[in-house]
Amino acid sequence: MFVAVLLIAGAMFVVLSTGDQTGTSIKVGVISPMSGAATTMGEEIVNSINLASTNSLSIVFEDDQCDTKKSISAYQKLKLQGTHVFYVACSGSVLALAPIAKQDGNLIVTAYAGSSEIRKTGDEVIRFIPDAVSVAEAMAEFASTLPISSKIGLLYEERIMQSRRPLLCKTG
């Protein structure tokens, strides 16, 4: 959660630095899963953004359930409301919206989307985390420096946040 707060705070810094300085608030559209299988992720995003919000921001939330068709609908709705800066949570949603945002001259900020395909988008997308390929490459490089007798454990999730219990790993 602390990392999410830092990432959102960084995203808000970018948003604030792109707006005019006339004292008006900047409208930020948040497109994230607030229902469906990824509800937990959406709740964390909403809580983090609300924690990091300032009077300079006007936040409008839209639920996309990590569904690209719903994210496009949410984007269009927010765009009609005068939104030009979007926080988008899911990789598929970022990839679906990037060409539209580029065409519209809008900005997408993300701190959750990890697809390596996002590397291929343009300047309209700012991501505050490394993509999955970069993480895997760094892990492989680190593992190659370990003695051959070392034991390595890898944790991964099969489904999105099924419970709030921590994952425990015992080696050895």
The radius of gyration of the chain from alpha carbons, rounded to an integer in Å, stands at 18
pLDDT in tens, 142-156: 888 888 777 777 666
Instruction: Please say if the pLDDT value at position 157 is more than 80.
Output: no
Residue 170: pLDDT over 80: no
Query: Own/partner pairs for 153-160, CB < 8 Å, 24+ apart?
Result: 159/37, 160/37, 160/38, 160/40, 160/41
Task: Say yes or no to pLDDT of 20 above 70.
Answer: no
Mean pLDDT of the chain: 77
* 162: pLDDT strictly greater than 60: no
Residues in Cβ contact with 8 at an 8 Å cutoff, skipping those fewer than 6 apart: 45, 48, 49, 51, 52, 87, 111
Residue 30 lies in a domain: yes
Q: 17 pLDDT band (50/70/90 cuts)?
A: low
Structural domain for 84, as ranges:
2-134
Residues written for the chain: 172
64 pLDDT more than 60: yes
Q: 95 or 21, which is more confident?
A: 95
User: Do the domain assignments include residue 164?
Assistant: no
Does residue 22 lie within any of the structural domains?
Answer: yes
Quick one: how far is CA 12 from the chain centroid? 13
- Does any domain span residue 21? yes
Question: Which is higher by pLDDT, 70 or 54?
Answer: 70
Mean pLDDT of 72-79: 96
Give pLDDT, residue 55.
Answer: 75
- Burial bucket for residue 23 (CB in 10 Å: 0-12, 13-18, 19+): exposed
Higher pLDDT, 118 or 157: 118
Answer whether residue 19 is part of any domain: yes
Side by side, the strands of the sheet bearing 26-32 are 57-63, 26-32, 85-88, 107-110, 125-127
Number of Cβ within a 10 Å radius of residue 154: 7
Quick one: pLDDT at residue 106?
93
Give the pair of three-digit tokens for residue 37.
């299988």
- Domain membership of residue 168 (yes or no) is no
- Domain tally, the chain: 1
CATH of the domain at 65: 3.40.50.2300
Distance of CA 83 to the CA centre of its chain: 18
User: 108 and 86 in contact (C-beta within 8 Å)?
Assistant: yes
Is residue 166 in a domain? no
Rounded CA gap, 24 and 19, in Å? 9
Asked whether residue 10 is assigned to any structural domain, the reply reads yes
- Position of tokens 């948040």? 30
